[in-house]
Amino acid sequence: MHVEVIEAFDDDRTVIRRLLQLYHYDFSEFDGSDVNAHGEYLHRYLDEYWNDSDRKAFLFRVDSALAGFALVFTGEPRDIAEFFVMRKYRSRGVGAQAAASLFGRFPGRWTVRSN
């Protein structure tokens, strides 16, 4: 299984937005969030990942298929704001490989949280 972590550019914004729907749906079990009147979860800061030089969005691919994403703050200390692996790829090491790739790409101090 080949895991790629690819920077998401402006053309990928819609893909990230759609994957965020899956992420927020999964997370709603824990945070109790609801969809809006249009049936969508909103992500207030998404556009900043293309407008702020200290924020980057990444897509995960497994054998070229979309498998997830990360939204990363690259300033000091670095921080993974959002991290999502699609259910099909969970418990297969995809998340660990993607995280290791991000940590390696941006050496330095990281804020790490657990829930």
CA 34, CA 42: separation in Å to the nearest integer?
Answer: 10
CATH code, domain carrying 37: 3.40.630.30
Residue 114 lies in a domain: no
Residue 41 lies in a domain: yes
The range of the structural domain enclosing residue 12 comes to 3-109
Residue 94 lies in a domain: yes
Distance of CA 35 to the CA centre of its chain: 19
Tell me the pTM. 0.92
Residue 74 lies in a domain: yes
> How many domains does one find in the chain?
1
Tell me which residues of the chain have a pLDDT lower than 50: none
Mapping DSSP onto H, E and C, the string for the chain reads CCEEEEECCHHHHHHHHHHHHHHHHHHHHHHCCCCCCCCCCCCCCCCHHHHCCCEEEEEEEECCEEEEEEEEECCCCEEEEEEEECHHHCCCCHHHHHHHHHHHHCCCCEECCCC
Residue 69 lies in a domain: yes
Residue 76 lies in a domain: yes
* pLDDT score at 44: 86
* pLDDT score at 115: 60
* pLDDT score at 24: 94
